[in-house]
Amino acid sequence: MRKRRKRLRIDRIFICLLILVGLVCLIRFSIYTIFGFKILGEAKKGNTIKLYHDNANIWKKTVKYINENMDEVNIKYKNYTITMDSSYFKRNMNIKPSVENKKITSGDFYKQKGLYINNNNVINVSSKIKFKLPRYIYKNGYVDLYGVSNEGSYELLESRKKVDKYYTLNIYDNYKEYYITYVKLEDIKTTQQYVLDEGEIKEIRLEFSPTNATNKKVSYSGYDKSIISIEHGVITALKEGKTTIKIKGDDMTTARIKIVVNKKKEEKKEEKKEPEKPKVTKGDDGIYYIDGIMIVNKSYPLPSSYDPGKLLPEFMSAFNEMLGDATSDGIKLWIQSGYRSYDYQVGLYDKYVKQDGKDKADTYSARPGYSEHQSGLAADINNPSSSFNGTKEAIWLKENCYKYGFIIRFPEGEENYTGYKYESWHIRYVGKVLAKKIHDAGDISLEHYYNIESKYSN
Ligand SMILES: [Zn+2]
């Protein structure tokens, strides 16, 4: 009896020892993960460690990076493993991106405090990095993400992104550093009163200070819904009356607009005739307009001297507003090609004519002076190629861009009006009022809407 009990105790000790050894082994040889790489073995000083990744594309990029930048690292091409001395690994590569609070030293955001992420020494192969944000940033709820390109320019990559304690940074190909910033909205200014006629459509103009505030999303409330309706910051006057719109911004900043809607004057039946064709007028600057909207197509070119040099501010602020909502919907948008100078278009068009002949080139590329890209009010989004058609980004853009004042400039089925084949990626800023009218008319082309031509004269 006693003997049996003793043996049992020895068995137990033996099992406990086994579990202990097992646990130690598990800890010692656990597989660490860094940016999607599995580190096989321990990353102790002087050890040789192996990195493993099973994505062939990431692997190819990594091999290229290491070949170009790290002489001492020994790469085994087989089995997707890299062998390197872990002390080298620690000394020469930041395993984690350096994340620090730092003031931005150039660009439009000079001296703005932001969270700085240096991506220089990280093997930039994984598409995502996750890290903790400092409280002063995440408590605000929203951030902007700027990327610093290899040429040193600051570009807004994600606008008004909702954040929590942890931030997942999407690694973009062409940026060496990132800034996550938050600028608190302090004030909203607006015109105090709008006087409208029944049926009139008007965009609510707001001035935000500071102008680079992160969260410019506002809500409209308090108004009489039988007198006006509001959709994406655009008022439609429904019937005669007075009401007040209460505008609420980030952190309860508020403004008010008084609205007076006047009854539309009764028109005599005899006077009713076909609505007059809007007229294209040529300004002193040599630019063609209809109702203040710049017209650029095969019939109405821009003068070679017209050179805004970049996308105009009204385009950019509308685009940034759109970027914020797209980001919230999980849609990634960026400007692939914005402003293009007259001289640039000379080179581009010549290239296409040499490649495909003049007739074919005219269906997809504009002649110099005839490109909307010269206006500073048009841009190609994400991927200017027919492979963009039907993607979730293209669908989102088509369904939502009018809310921000954009139109798809060369819609499907409108080739006879525009003179260009369908381009799901080319957007034009026309302002919220006209964009809404064109959307309500069935997302037709600008030429179709205004009943104007787009044909080369020769
Ligand atoms: Zn374009």
85-123: per-residue pLDDT in tens? 544 444 334 334 445 555 555 444 444 444 555 444 344
Q: Which residue has the higher pLDDT, 309 or 74?
A: 309
Q: What is the pTM of this model?
A: 0.72
Residue 308's pLDDT band (cuts 50, 70, 90): very high
Residue 36's pLDDT band (cuts 50, 70, 90): very low
Centroid of ligand 1 to alpha carbon of 206 (angstroms): 29
Centroid of ligand 1 to alpha carbon of 379 (angstroms): 6
pLDDT in tens, 246-303: 999 977 888 999 999 999 876 655 555 555 667 899 988 999 999 999 999 999 999 9
Residue 414's pLDDT band (cuts 50, 70, 90): very high
Residue 133's pLDDT band (cuts 50, 70, 90): confident
Centroid of ligand 1 to alpha carbon of 343 (angstroms): 16
Centroid of ligand 1 to alpha carbon of 58 (angstroms): 31
What tokens were used for 420? Answer: 């260009």
Rounded to the nearest integer, the mean pLDDT of the chain is 79
For the CA atoms of 354, 356, 358, 360, the dihedral, rounded to the nearest 10 degrees, stands at -160
Centroid of ligand 1 to alpha carbon of 453 (angstroms): 19
pLDDT of residue 164: 86
Centroid of ligand 1 to alpha carbon of 380 (angstroms): 5
Percentage of the chain modeled with pLDDT above 70: 71
pLDDT in tens, 66-86: 666 655 555 555 555 556 554
What tokens were used for 117? Answer: 């992420």
- In 3D space, the residue among 376, 366, 307, 310 whose CA is nearest the CA of residue 342 turns out to be 307
Per residue in 413-423, is it b (16+ CB within 10 Å) or e — as a string? ebeebbbbebb
Centroid of ligand 1 to alpha carbon of 386 (angstroms): 12
Active site residues per annotation: 423
DSSP state of 402: G
pLDDT of residue 153: 76
- In 3D space, the residue among 362, 323, 321, 369 whose CA is nearest the CA of residue 342 turns out to be 369
Whole-angstrom Cα distance, residue 381 to residue 397?
Answer: 9
pLDDT in tens, 404-413: 999 999 999 9
pLDDT mean over 125-139:
68
Centroid of ligand 1 to alpha carbon of 426 (angstroms): 5
Centroid of ligand 1 to alpha carbon of 263 (angstroms): 42
Centroid of ligand 1 to alpha carbon of 410 (angstroms): 9
Contact 279, 244 (CB under 8 A): no
One-letter amino acid at 425 equals W
Torsion over CA: 6, 8, 12, 15 (sign)? positive
Contact 302, 340 (CB under 8 A): no
pLDDT of residue 288: 96
pLDDT of residue 157: 86
Percentage of the chain modeled with pLDDT above 90: 46
pLDDT of residue 120: 41
